[in-house]
């Protein structure tokens, strides 16, 4: 490590990860009865975390594929468990996204949480620590701990501050995810056990295990277990049904974080473990994953088209957009992978923003039904303008971020097998249809008498949205800043799968190409 701060013993990632929880402790001890104080503390904590993340990004060296800011100390030495942190470009982008959305989630739910506010904001901060922990962990055990930690505050956020069916949604969310977690735990133990038994010593270290070269018998089952766990989180078709319920019932901040970050943890896990540990299985899974992805793209879009509830609509659109992400990841070329990771950020920004907007409308009208709205552009022109920008970004308008990710993924997919790009493009048409139709029915048309007196967005709400607009335009016009972090990790992934791609993946690609390809 040549980095000066690291030489001084600056443990940036530890600080980053535990700063939110430290803020939560301060709130819990000193500010139990003072809402304005604990809200401010929560906000300031999250802003500091964001600032720290940006600082790390500035210090980050984009040229190398290795993990940076590593910290490694023994934790439970007897079991080979260590406290090992480190990030590469992929984690860095997701960390930036997490910290940004956390700030905005806190800001966005400033006044909408009336009951047990302290617990709510503490939950959000604990959640932030859990999410950051997932992205910085370089040790499987540590990863698993953080993975489970973030589940608990999210469960409470949905179950306590949610809508009418919050308990159902929270339990559904928890059980779905937990089924995956348990499978993952089994897989973790299996590979650690195999590695120890074959003379590698007892270790949970991710980097060590990545080089293990598991035999197909162990790898196939472990891949499947990991994959199911992450597919539920993404969520891929057909294990997506927790998502609409969880999103619909969760409070605004919950939806924002859920869509913005939690879903990405699934894809992140796929990158790190499914592909990182078992590249030889990953290449064999290309075709099934692609099929499931394009089904998700079209299916999610079709479901969105007929949802009567705005939040449900956006939730199903997440299924569609995350289908792009998984598709891009598993075509294994530079454009696909970089597009996939960038699309995660884009989806976080745009869907987070859409949920935020729906939340702002809900705060005023207390309904999420599209049919209850209409003509909102008249009383709330500023809100309508912001909303339209996010809708357009989401449907992939060039110049905004959604397009950049989507197009890279499509280019990547197209190179692999044209048929998938064609089907995915149908999803884009449907995307325009459901988003614009919703926009037309809510913002345009005859104004609903009831809403004519509504106040437009407040300064706080505008401040919440402006960073998201900035991100949308920035990534849309100059994605270089962000893609720069991804070149090296993407090449790293490619170098891992390349040997097997020629062996197995090539065969499937060839098959697909001869079956469906053009030329």
Partner 1 sequence: MQNYVWLIPALPFAAFVVTLLLGRWWIKAESHWIPILAMAGSFGLSIAAFIQIRGAEEPVIVRMWQWFSVGSFQVPLAFQIDQLTAVMLLVVTGVGLLIFIYSKGYMHGDPGYYRFFAYMSLFAFSMLLLVLANNYLLLYFGWEAVGLCSYYLIGFFYHKPEAAAAGKKAFIVNRVGDFGFGLGVMLIFVTFGTLDYTGVFAKVAGGAVGHNVLVAIALLLFMGAMGKSAQFPLHVWLPDAMEGPTPVSALIHAATMVTAGVYLVARSSVIFASAPAALLVVGIVGTFTAIFAAVIGMAQNDIKKVLAYSTVSQLGYMFMALGVGAWSGAIFHLVAHAFFKALLFLGAGSVIHSMGGEQDMRCMGGLARRIPVTWITFMTGALALSGVFPFAGFWSKDEILGKNFQAGVYVVWFVGLVAAFITAFYTFRMVFVTFWGKETRSDEKTCALIHESPKSMTWPLILLAVASTVGGFIGLPGSFGVIQRFLEPVFSRASDILGVAEPSVGTLDIVLMVVSLVVALMGMGLAWLIYVRRAQDLPQFFGALFGPVYRVVYNKFYVDEFYAATFVRVAVDGSRSVWHNFDEKVIDGAVHGSAWLWQNWGRVVRPLQTGRVQNYLLGILIGVFVIVTVVVFL
Query: Residue numbers of the site for partner 1 (CB under 8 A)?
Result: 172, 175-176, 238, 240-242, 299, 302-303, 305-307, 333-335, 338-339, 375, 377-378, 381, 392, 397-399, 403-404, 407-408, 410-411, 414-415, 418, 421-422, 425-426, 428-430, 432-433, 436-437, 439-440, 443-447, 477-480, 483, 487, 518-519
Strands (E), 46-169: 68-76, 81-87
CA–CA dist 430, 120 (Å, integer): 37
Separation CA 1–CA 85 (nearest Å): 14
DSSP 78: G
Structural contact between residues 319 and 237, judged by C-beta atoms closer than 8 angstroms: yes
Nearer to partner 1 (CB atom), residue 219 or residue 344:
344
Cβ atoms of 444 and 364 closer than 8 Å:
no
Residue 440 CB, nearest distance to partner 1 (Å)? 5
| Choice between 152 and 382, CB closer to partner 1 | 382
Nearer to partner 1, 190 or 422 (CB): 422
Q: How far apart are CA 210 and CA 109, in angstroms?
A: 41
Contact 229, 180 (CB under 8 A): yes
- 10 Å CB burial of residue 150 (0-12, 13-18, 19+) is buried
**Close Cβ partners of 412 (under 8 Å, ≥ 6 residues apart):** 328, 331, 333, 334, 335, 336, 337, 339, 340
Tell the smallest beta-carbon distance from residue 360 to partner 1 (Å). 19
Report the nearest approach of partner 1 to the CB of residue 34 (Å).
Answer: 37
43 or 291: CB nearest partner 1: 291
- Smallest CA-to-CA distance from 86 within 208, 207, 184, 266 is with 207
Nearer to partner 1, 153 or 489 (CB): 489
Shortest distance in whole angstroms from residue 170 CB to partner 1: 14
Give the side-chain half-sphere CA count within 13 A for 251: 27
User: Closest CB to partner 1 among 40 and 411?
Assistant: 411
Closest C-alpha among 119, 167, 112, 149 to residue 18: 149
Q: Least distance in Å: CB of 244 to partner 1?
A: 9
**Cβ-based nearer residue to partner 1, 132 or 263:** 263
* Lookup: tokens for 244: 């609409």
Minimum gap (Å) between residue 108 Cβ and partner 1: 23
As measured in angstroms, the least distance from the Cβ of 19 to partner 1 is 33
What secondary structure letter does DSSP report for 262?
I
Q: Decide: 153 and 105 in contact? Cβ < 8 Å.
A: no
Residue (157 or 391) nearer to partner 1, CB: 391
Give me the least distance between CB of 187 and partner 1, in Å please. Answer: 21
């Amino acid at each position: 490590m040549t980095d000066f701060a690291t030489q001084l013993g600056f443990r940036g990632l530890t600080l980053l990860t535990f700063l939110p929880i430290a803020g939560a402790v301060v709130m819990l001890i000193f500010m139990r009865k003072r809402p304005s104080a604990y809200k401010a503390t929560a906000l300031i904590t999250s802003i500091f975390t964001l600032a720290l993340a940006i600082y790390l990004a500035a210090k980050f060296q984009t040229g190398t594929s290795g993990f940076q800011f590593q910290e490694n100390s023994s934790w439970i030495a007897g079991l080979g468990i260590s406290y090992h942190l480190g990030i590469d470009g992929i984690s860095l982008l997701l960390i930036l996204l997490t910290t940004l959305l956390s700030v905005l989630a806190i800001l966005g739910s400033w006044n909408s949480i009336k009951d047990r506010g302290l617990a709510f904001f503490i939950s959000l901060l604990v959640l932030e620590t859990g999410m950051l922990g997932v992205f910085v962990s370089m040790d499987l055990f540590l990863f698993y701990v953080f993975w489970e930690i973030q589940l608990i505050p999210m469960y409470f956020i949905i179950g306590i501050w949610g809508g009418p069916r919050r308990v159902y949604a929270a339990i559904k969310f928890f059980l779905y995810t937990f089924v995956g977690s348990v499978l993952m735990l089994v897989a973790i133990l299996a590979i650690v056990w195999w590695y120890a038994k074959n003379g590698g010593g007892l270790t949970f270290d991710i980097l060590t295990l990545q080089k293990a070269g598991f035999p197909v018998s162990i790898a196939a089952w472990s891949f499947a277990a990991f994959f199911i766990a992450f597919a539920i989180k993404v969520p891929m078709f057909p294990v997506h049904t927790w998502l609409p319920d969880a999103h619909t019932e969760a409070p605004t901040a919950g939806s924002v974080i859920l869509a913005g970050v939690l879903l990405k943890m699934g894809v992140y896990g796929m990158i790190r473990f499914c592909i990182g540990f078992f590249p030889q299985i990953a290449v064999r899974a290309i075709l099934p994953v692609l099929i499931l992805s394009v089904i998700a793209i079209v299916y999610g879009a079709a479901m969105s088209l007929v949802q009567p509830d705005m939040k449900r609509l956006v939730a199903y659109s997440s299924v569609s957009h995350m289908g792009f992400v998984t598709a891009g990841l598993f075509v294994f070329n530079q454009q696909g992978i970089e597009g996939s990771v960038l699309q995660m950020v884009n989806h976080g920004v745009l869907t987070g923003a859409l949920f935020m907007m729906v939340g702002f409308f809900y705060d005023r009208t207390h309904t999420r039904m599209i049919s209850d709205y209409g003509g909102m552009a008249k009383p709330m022109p500023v809100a309508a303008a912001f909303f339209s920008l996010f809708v357009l970004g989401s449907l992939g308008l060039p110049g905004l971020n959604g397009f950049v990710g989507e197009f890279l993924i499509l280019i990547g997919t197209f190179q692999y097998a044209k048929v998938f790009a064609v089907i995915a493009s149908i999803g884009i048409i449907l995307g325009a249809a459901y988003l614009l139709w919703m926009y037309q029915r809510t913002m345009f048309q005859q104004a609903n008498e009831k809403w004519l007196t509504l106040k437009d967005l407040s300064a706080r709400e505008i401040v919440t949205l402006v960073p998201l607009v900035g991100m949308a335009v920035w990534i849309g016009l100059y994605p270089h800043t962000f893609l720069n972090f991804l070149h090296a990790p993407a090449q790293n992934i490619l170098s891992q799968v390349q040997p097997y791609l020629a062996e197995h993946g090539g065969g499937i690609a060839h098959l697909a190409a001869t079956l469906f390809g053009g030329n």
